[in-house]
Amino acid sequence: MPSNKRQMCLSDIKNSFNESGIVDWHISPRLANEPSEDGHSDLAVQTAPPELKRPPLYAVVLLNDDYTPMEFVIEILQQYFAMNLDQATQVMLTVHYEGKGVAGVYPRDIAETKANQVNNYARSQGHPLLCQIEPKD
């Protein structure tokens, strides 16, 4: 392979590594049938650690209505949100007096699951209690 073609090929490899997030690399150019001098592979790669970010959080919110008993709301909070009696009572009173209250804050998939579980259970028990999710600020 002519030298300028080899340099072009190495340049393409370098660009490919840079685009994929590889931050440190070393190439030992040699012909394919030549043995490696140090017994190692031709290419050593060190990748950048992935940049992880926290998933957005959503509040699971209970909405007040005129028909669902307070005791049932407390039961929901204890059963689905692992609250003790005092915590559940405080959230229930917030729902009652302010129109809505936060039962918990979770990543979206967990928040949606909990809201669906609460809504399904409330309907199965004949209560109109409504639970929804809202993006957490």
pLDDT in tens, the chain (137 residues): 555 655 556 677 667 666 766 556 555 555 555 555 555 556 667 788 888 999 999 999 999 999 999 999 999 999 999 999 999 999 999 999 999 999 999 999 999 999 999 999 999 999 999 999 999 97
Report pTM: 0.65
- In sequence order, the β-bridge partners of residue 57 are 107
Residue 12: how many other CB atoms lie within 10 Å: 10
As its CATH architecture, domain 57-135 has 2-Layer Sandwich (3.30)
User: How far, in Å, CA of 42 to CA of 65, rounded?
Assistant: 70
The ranges assigned to domains in the chain are 3-47, 57-135
What is the pLDDT at residue 41?
Answer: 57
- DSSP per residue, the chain: --HHHHHHHHHHHHHHHHHTTEEEEEE----TTSPPSSSS-SEEEEEPPP---PPPEEEEEEE--SSS-HHHHHHHHHHHH---HHHHHHHHHHHHHHSEEEEEEEEHHHHHHHHHHHHHHHHHTT---EEEEEE--
What is the pLDDT at residue 49?
Answer: 86
